Structure 1
Amino acid sequence: MQNQPKKRILVAPLNWGLGHATRCIPLIHVLVTHNFEPVLASDGAALKLLQKEFPDFKTVELPSYNITYAKKGQFFKLKMLQNSPKLVRAIKAEKKATKEIVEKHDIDGIISDNRLGVYSKHIPSVFVTHQLKVLSGNTTWLSTKMHQKIIKRFDECWVPDNIGEDNLSGALGHTSVVGIPVKYIGPLSRFKKINCPLKYDLLVLLSGPEPQRTYLEDLLLKELKRFKGQLLFVKGIVDSESKASVIGTMTSYNFMTTDTLEKAVNESRIVLCRSGYTTVMDLAKLEKKAFFIPTPGQFEQEYIANRLTKLGQVPSCKQADFKVGMLDDVEHFSGLKPTDYVNNYKKLFSLFKSK
């Protein structure tokens, strides 16, 4: 049995910020421990991040979606509609590329994190998402229906959350669906909690597509000049190497790899960041207090931020409203807490051994 070749699993996260790639990291590690051989596929910053995290693994570049956010939040939905022809073309190219990758690299199974065209009718294909319900304002019913139609092309849908009330995604990941084999696999985080002295009073963690990432960076660099305390600023720009600079009490990095960022978050008293779902999972794992600024116009992040604020866990505000003094509100909130969830990965991965 030990001499049998390892089954190859194509792991393909969407390049939409770094969240989809980073939450695939723990899945990739578990695949290895269960004697699978991951082949990694994405594009842009997400692919660069995976290559830095797993330099010895095979990687493949997929066609880029080339989706950008609107400059103003109120035009987010319009921008998405304008991008839809580009998205359709990208998915078509993605399907063609996937077929070629499956044949060239002898792929035995697929795990696609929100890449809509990365699946195959000939091998087990899994779609990873925390959005069974896709919020889009008054068109939520339509965006949800379209998304679920895509999910049905896969053999299974894995939701990185708990199945019960003690969950992180709320209505996003806990909506009744018909005809979709859904499995809740528990929150995914690449981090571990470390008991260590606090070094930073505030960690700013930026991520997400342009131009909104840059808009928030400019806003925070200006506003946080009045912050008193040790400040660590991680910009979320994946370059060839991680570069640090120190100005006064602020230390800034363009990006951090998993090990260095894990240490930094553990050493920070408060984290200021977007309310992306992967970030929420990471901060819950590390039991952190945070302040959320959702990406303007992105309904999903606005929902998560509002929900956690109402639950008394994390304060939040609109991007245009942020003032440094709002960080004092963090002390009146409980912070995020981990959930006790043990996944049976042997059973979960049995899909890839059944065909």
Structure 2
Amino acid sequence: MSILRLMYRPAWPDSETALPWVLLGERGERLDGGDDEPAAWPRTGETELVLPAGRTVFLRAALPRASRERMQAAAGYALEERLANDVQANLYALGPADGGEHVVAVTEAFGVRRAVAMLRSLGRTPDRIVPEETLGSATEGWQLAAAADGGRIARQGEVGAWYLPAGAAGDALWARLQACDGAPGAAPSVAAAGWVSGRAASAYDFAHGELAAGRWWRTWGPALRGSGLVLALFAALQLALLLGEAGYLAWRKQQLTTEIKALAVPLAGSQAVPGNSALPMLRALDRLRAERGQPARLDGTALLARLGEVAGSTLALQQLNIEDGRVVLRAAQVPDETFARWRSQLARQGVALSRRAGEGGAQEWVLAGEP
């Protein structure tokens, strides 16, 4: 993933409209660069904001043992007396521990916050905000590197960095480092500026808290969006399948109903409507079974046929159940004389008929074949 590295200017974006930039490849190699307005910056996956050398001071502070977030929050109060200003006026980045103390990078907050707000509005929220002094390869011992403004940067491994302005002031500061901090007598060769190449591997990063870029969403957002799209597509296909199945079943039900009516009406006529005499329905059933080569009637069906023959069309059935050769049915109440006549006629055919009172004024009739 390519990186757009921007060099911060204190006057941007008020009186300055452009920023120096370099485009870095996956291995940190320089691909392009310039000094342009935001419209000319290339689109990349990550953005870094580099604070020019001299705008950051590196101090040592004894911090309580806690999480990194808590130690960064406590760093300002640990350095409050030495900085002699409001804790909220600075930004703090926690560095490596050295001799029981932590090295803390401190920079002025106002200008950086304003620049980050502008970059966020441009869709270029910095993933990292690092001091120029910490860029470049970190090696053991002392080293000098060129700064972007023509000065030099003196580094002692990863625990110390100093900005040396161009000219006599820088030479005087180097002499002081030789006298007080153990810098070598012979100044090492000056390496190329570290901000124009190489990946930022330093622990000093001001992009946390209010200036955090939301790296978690940037890292996992595309994958989550892709997964959500797949799940939504799967849900839509599942819903379409269910709706299609429901539609097919409804169509099939209607088709079967039509086929049943088409088969029943020619055989039984209009008398096949439920609630009319049972005899026409039984005769239609007999004809259907005979056409299929099956016995004309089942035991229970035969009993009901006998009742239909003696009752004719005067019996209106309400409920029918055939179990184990017995027929239990519910029908409207008939006079006792009529029932007695039907029972005697059925008895001559070997069918026993009995009745009992049911719910709602209806009667339950039981038909059984006599041995």
Q: TM-score, normalised by structure 1?
A: 0.19
Q: TM-score, normalised by structure 2?
A: 0.18
- Tell which structure's C-alpha radius of gyration is larger: 2
Higher relative contact order (CA 8 A, sep 6+): 1
